[in-house]
């Protein structure tokens, strides 16, 4: 399957490449952020919104799920450059009106880049495409709901799919899953399936919870913090402030990454005066330039070395009392880690024994270690094994339920964790379904539904009649773009509840609705009970309220809860057991239901009104207990596995630039990496370029090969990428998401979690034939 380059609004010939940034990340941040805000929204809106980010009675930054302090004093400006860009993108005054849709046919929109589409502005009115139409045209809200309801009622529940993107707030997510289950399906794929699903798959069975076990204060207090497979300078900039605090308290930071990411190496805090005028803080005390997919080998070697260190100095490294009382599987782990093959470890990681031994020494000396990770560890075939190996290391030294210690999967979308807590999950637990049945007097389906990869396959096999997306950009975010888009176009109906135009709107079903909605920053006050607020859960299990204050760009927008309620009423009838209208009129009603269905949300309406919200129970963190089947935390043993490209090939990982939010491309400046004015690039080590017979800036077509379990092999191809010599780990290339998604075969997934192998493609280049 070949995918040609789109007709560009971006002229890739303008590509500029400078050396990746060696100086500090952070200083330029505030000025860049303000420029973007002013360009999109003007002075008054920009200032008003910036002062409200992450403040009490303000709105939660839609940028990422990194927590705000709940104990310390909050800075007046609790946001970062990229959070500010996310806000500017949302509160833009540019609008996409019916005239826009009349002027641009679908045939044209399909040739546009995500950058162009997102830059058109906020959608102002509901629009529709019926079979045979060439353009979207306006439709009333009432007709839109009736049209969608007709399609849902005309098919069977198993042929309906309800997708959720992680910006969706708790109350909205709760209503959305309730709607899907009232229709009769657990087909609830979400962006988490493509993101941190591997983290949950590794953590739930081993420590009894699928979430991080640290608080923000733990980061400050840690003696040692690992930042693995993560680019915080771009994707979680406020995390750098926390790491800096940790260092000021004497802690050490180890970065593990194939790319020398600028924020990880050096950082100036734009919010602190010393940071701005000083020389910046070197964040990573040690940096391991690991090969893509080599982390399992690294963590196994570290486990071996820690056990050896304990043998040398008994009672100083391994927490035997904890292991004895609280864990199982230790003996098997000790046996498995009794030896290590250093030659194999070098092949897997690219790292030498001395480097790894130095890091093991730091771990052995630390009484409080935190391991943070993000997508560099979750999107490979052996990801779940790799993450279980992290849990092994933390268990070995008793790094749970103590200050400054624990596991820290750093989440992406600002409420992706909360959505799962609210029941957005294709594999719901019986306890949730039983609680829903009891609360509402309905019978929810027990059969598990599609995750995002299975939904892609269902599209491909023509098994989807109705697809409803609560936000997001499913077509561009998922793998195997070619077959996915073709399948989506054959579906009966696609419904996109969106703020801005994106690719999924252009590769729509035979009938398609775009339902424009309020965003985080918009005021939501058209209710009998007056202005409403919503809530979110951050990466460290803190639940707090979020409330927009800006005047929406259009009077036609409905809030997400109202859209779900009206769609549900149209579909299920006014006599349905669930009182949808009451929930839409007063979000306290939704929260009352949540308080009786979701554990940890007792007395939700009172506690959400606390200044800093409340913290959900977290057994490993709170009481050093593990809610697994046996009540013990489990060591696990995995065979060594890594990604070894055949001769003439490289391993490709996909990354975000500094100027995008997932599929929303803000601009063309990947500042810290020194790449600007272009996105169809592949970063390759200079030696690899030479070995493969190419030069810096050559234009190539990229071919990925996938070998299935049954031995069959298939190829994907994406045309016209520019090679850029870059100091990545050897044997490993990097390209931007979503441009490279066409190269990800849908069967290339992480085992157990089914997360696409976005950081595990085997690729080769051929010269681009113009």
Q: Which of 62, 208, 406, 412 is close enough to bind Mo ion by CB under 5 A?
A: 412
Conformation bin of residue 275: beta by default, left when phi > 0, alpha when psi is -120 to 50: alpha
Conformation bin of residue 228: beta by default, left when phi > 0, alpha when psi is -120 to 50: beta
Note whether 290 and 641 are within 8 A (CB): no
The two three-digit tokens of residue 288, written as one number:
């391991």
Query: Residues near 482 by Cβ (< 8 Å), separated by ≥ 6?
Result: 1, 2, 3, 716, 742
Per partner kind, with CB cut-offs from 5 to 8 A, the member of Mo ion, ligand MGD, none near residue 499 is: ligand MGD
Other Cβ atoms closer than 10 A to 137: 13
Task: Name the closest residue to ligand MGD (Cβ).
Answer: 412
Is 235 a binding residue for ligand MGD by CB under 6 A? The answer is yes
Query: Minimum CB separation from ligand MGD for residue 522, in Å?
Result: 9
Q: Which of 211, 520, 745, 746 is close enough to bind ligand MGD by CB under 6 A?
A: 520
Contact pattern for ligand MGD over residues 670 through 709, marking x by CB under 6 A: ----------------------------------------
Query: Minimum CB separation from ligand MGD for residue 235, in Å?
Result: 3
Query: Minimum CB separation from Mo ion for residue 195, in Å?
Result: 3
Is 233 a binding residue for ligand MGD by CB under 6 A? The answer is no
Determine the interface stretch with ligand MGD among 250-258, 362-370, 486-494, 685-693 (rule: CB under 6 A): 250-258
Is 83 a binding residue for Mo ion by CB under 5 A? The answer is no
Per partner kind, with CB cut-offs from 5 to 8 A, the member of Mo ion, ligand MGD, none near residue 177 is: none
Q: What is the DSSP string of 140-178?
A: -HHHHHHHHHHHHHHS-GGGEEEEE-TT--HHHHHHHHH
Query: Minimum CB separation from Mo ion for residue 412, in Å?
Result: 3
Query: Minimum CB separation from ligand MGD for residue 293, in Å?
Result: 5
Per partner kind, with CB cut-offs from 5 to 8 A, the member of ligand MGD, Mo ion, none near residue 229 is: ligand MGD
Query: Minimum CB separation from Mo ion for residue 411, in Å?
Result: 7
Query: Residues near 593 by Cβ (< 8 Å), separated by ≥ 6?
Result: 174, 439, 440, 583
Contact pattern for ligand MGD over residues 647 through 676, marking x by CB under 6 A: ------xxxx---xxxxx------------
Is 512 a binding residue for ligand MGD by CB under 6 A? The answer is no
Is 756 a binding residue for Mo ion by CB under 5 A? The answer is no
Rounded distance between C-alpha atoms, residue 747 and residue 756, angstroms: 8
Residues numbered 39-78 forming contacts with ligand MGD, rule: CB under 6 A = 63-64
The DSSP symbol for 749 reads B
The DSSP symbol for 16 reads E
List Cα–Cα distances, 313 to 151, 318, 335, 663, in angstroms. Answer: 69, 10, 19, 51
Is 464 a binding residue for Mo ion by CB under 5 A? The answer is no
Per partner kind, with CB cut-offs from 5 to 8 A, the member of Mo ion, ligand MGD, none near residue 326 is: none
Cis peptide bond prior to 738, omega within 30° of 0: yes
Is 409 a binding residue for Mo ion by CB under 5 A? The answer is no
Is 738 a binding residue for Mo ion by CB under 5 A? The answer is no
Per partner kind, with CB cut-offs from 5 to 8 A, the member of ligand MGD, Mo ion, none near residue 472 is: ligand MGD
Q: For ligand MGD, how many residues bind (rule: CB under 6 A)?
A: 60
Determine the interface stretch with Mo ion among 121-129, 408-416, 445-453, 606-614 (rule: CB under 5 A): 408-416
Contact pattern for ligand MGD over residues 407 through 436, marking x by CB under 6 A: -----xx-----------------------
Q: Which is nearer to Mo ion, 375 or 567 (by Cβ)?
A: 375
Query: Minimum CB separation from ligand MGD for residue 502, in Å?
Result: 4
**At which residue do the structure tokens 């719901």 appear?**
428
Q: Which is nearer to Mo ion, 235 or 289 (by Cβ)?
A: 235
Rounded distance between C-alpha atoms, residue 461 and residue 154, angstroms: 19
In 362-491, the DSSP E strands lie at 369-373, 406-409, 466-470
Query: Minimum CB separation from ligand MGD for residue 196, in Å?
Result: 7
Rounded distance between C-alpha atoms, residue 549 and residue 38, angstroms: 18
Q: Which value, in Å, is the radius of gyration of the alpha carbons in the chain? A: 25
Is 502 a binding residue for ligand MGD by CB under 6 A? The answer is yes
**DSSP H or E segment with residue 493:** strand 493-498
Q: Which is nearer to ligand MGD, 489 or 496 (by Cβ)?
A: 496
Query: Residues near 5 by Cβ (< 8 Å), separated by ≥ 6?
Result: 12, 680, 718, 719, 720
Rounded distance between C-alpha atoms, residue 379 and residue 458, angstroms: 21
Is 199 a binding residue for ligand MGD by CB under 6 A? The answer is no
Q: Which is nearer to ligand MGD, 221 or 560 (by Cβ)?
A: 560
Query: Residues near 182 by Cβ (< 8 Å), separated by ≥ 6?
Result: 440, 442, 444, 568, 572, 576, 578
637 by Cβ neighbours in 10 Å (0-12 / 13-18 / 19+) ranks as middle
Per partner kind, with CB cut-offs from 5 to 8 A, the member of Mo ion, ligand MGD, none near residue 667 is: none
Query: Residues near 632 by Cβ (< 8 Å), separated by ≥ 6?
Result: 326, 327, 328, 626
Q: Which is nearer to Mo ion, 63 or 492 (by Cβ)?
A: 63
Other Cβ atoms closer than 10 A to 714: 12
Contact pattern for Mo ion over residues 188 through 207, marking x by CB under 5 A: -------x------------
**At which residue do the structure tokens 């020398």 appear?**
260
Query: Minimum CB separation from Mo ion for residue 193, in Å?
Result: 10
Rounded distance between C-alpha atoms, residue 331 and residue 657, angstroms: 44
Q: Which residues form the interface with Mo ion (CB under 5 A)? A: 195, 412
Footprint of ligand MGD (CB under 6 A): 63-64, 82, 118, 165-167, 191, 194-195, 228-231, 234-235, 256-259, 261, 290, 292-293, 295, 374-376, 412-413, 470-474, 477, 497-500, 502, 517, 519-520, 560, 653-656, 660-664, 737-738, 740-741, 758-759
């Amino acid at each position: 399957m070949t995918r040609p380059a789109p007709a560009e609004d971006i002229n890739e010939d303008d590509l500029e490449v400078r050396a990746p940034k060696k100086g500090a990340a952070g200083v330029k941040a505030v000025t860049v952020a303000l420029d973007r805000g002013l360009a999109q929204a003007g002075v008054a809106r920009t200032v008003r919104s910036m002062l409200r980010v992450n403040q009490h009675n303000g709105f939660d930054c839609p940028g990422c799920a990194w927590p705000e302090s709940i104990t310390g004093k909050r800075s007046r400006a609790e946001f970062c450059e990229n959070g500010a860009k996310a806000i500017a993108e949302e509160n833009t005054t540019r609008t996409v009106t019916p005239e826009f849709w009349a002027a641009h046919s679908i045939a044209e929109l399909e040739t546009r880049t995500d950058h162009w589409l997102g830059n058109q502005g906020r959608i102002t009115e509901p629009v529709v495409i019926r079979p045979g139409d060439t353009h979207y045209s306006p439709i009333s809200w009432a007709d839109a709901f009736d049209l969608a309801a007709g399609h849902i009622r005309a098919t069977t529940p198993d042929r309906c799919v309800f997708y959720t993107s992680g910006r969706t707030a708790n109350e909205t997510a709760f209503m959305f899953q309730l709607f899907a289950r009232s229709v009769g399906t657990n087909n609830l794929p979400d962006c988490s399936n493509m993101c941190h699903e591997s983290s949950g798959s590794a953590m739930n069975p081993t420590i009894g919870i699928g979430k991080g076990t640290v608080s923000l204060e733990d980061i400050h207090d840690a003696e040692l913090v690992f930042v693995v497979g993560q680019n915080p300078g771009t994707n979680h900039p406020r995390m750098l402030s926390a790491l800096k605090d940790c260092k000021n308290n004497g802690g050490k930071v180890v970065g593990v990454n194939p790319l020398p990411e600028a924020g990880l190496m050096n950082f100036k805090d734009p919010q602190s005066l010393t940071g701005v005028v000083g020389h910046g803080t070197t964040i990573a005390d040690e940096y391991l330039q690991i090969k893509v997919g080599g982390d399992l080998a690294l963590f196994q070697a570290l486990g071996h070395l820690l056990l050896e260190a304990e043998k040398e100095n008994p009672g100083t490294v391994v927490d035997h009392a904890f292991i004895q009382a609280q864990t199982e599987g230790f003996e098997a782990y000790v046996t498995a880690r009794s030896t290590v093959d250093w030659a194999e470890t070098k092949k897997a990681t690219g790292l030498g024994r001395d480097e790894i031994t130095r890091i093991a020494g730091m771990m052995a000396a630390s009484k409080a270690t935190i391991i943070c990770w993000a997508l560099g560890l979750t999107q490979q075939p052996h990801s779940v094994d790799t993450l279980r190996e992290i849990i092994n290391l933390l268990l070995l030294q008793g790094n749970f339920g103590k200050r400054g210690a624990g596991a820290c999967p750093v989440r992406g979308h600002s409420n992706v964790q909360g959505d799962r807590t609210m029941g957005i999950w294709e594999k719901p637990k019986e306890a949730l379904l039983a609680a829903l049945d009891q609360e509402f007097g309905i019978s929810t389906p027990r059969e598990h539904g599609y995750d995002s990869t299975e939904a892609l396959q269902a599209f491909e096999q023509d098994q989807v009649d109705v697809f409803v997306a609560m936000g997001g950009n499913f077509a561009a975010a998922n793998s195997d773009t070619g077959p996915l888009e073709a399948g989506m176009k054959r579906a009966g109906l696609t419904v996109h509840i969106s703020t801005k135009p994106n690719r999924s709107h252009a590769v729509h079903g035979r009938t398609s609705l775009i339902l424009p909605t309020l965003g985080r920053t918009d005021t939501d006050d058209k209710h009998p009970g007056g202005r409403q607020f919503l809530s979110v859960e951050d990466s460290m299990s803190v639940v707090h309220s979020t409330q927009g204050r800006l005047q929406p760009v259009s009077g036609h927008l409905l809030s997400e809860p109202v859209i779900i309620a009206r769609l549900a009423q149209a579909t299920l009838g006014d006599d349905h057991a669930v009182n949808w209208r009451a929930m839409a009129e007063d979000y306290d009603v939704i929260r009352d239901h949540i308080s009786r269905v979701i554990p940890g949300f007792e007395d939700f309406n009172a506690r959400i009104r606390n200044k800093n919200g409340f913290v959900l129970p977290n057994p490993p963190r709170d009481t050093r207990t593990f809610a697994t089947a046996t009540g013990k935390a489990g060591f696990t043993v995995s065979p060594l596995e890594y990604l070894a490209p055949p001769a003439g090939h490289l391993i490709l990982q996909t990354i975000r630039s500094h100027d995008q939010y997932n599929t929303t491309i803000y601009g063309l400046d990947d500042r810290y990496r020194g790449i600007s004015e272009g996105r169809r690039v592949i970063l390759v080590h200079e030696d690899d370029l030479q070995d493969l017979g190419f030069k810096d800036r050559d234009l190539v077509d990229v071919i990925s090969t996938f070998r299935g379990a049954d031995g069959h092999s298939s190829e994907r191809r994406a045309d016209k990428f520019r090679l850029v010599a870059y100091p990545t780990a050897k044997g490993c290339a990097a390209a931007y998401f979503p441009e490279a998604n066409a190269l990800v075969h849908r069967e290339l997934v992480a085992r157990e979690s089914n997360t696409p192998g976005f950081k595990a493609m085997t690729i080769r280049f051929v010269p681009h034939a113009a």
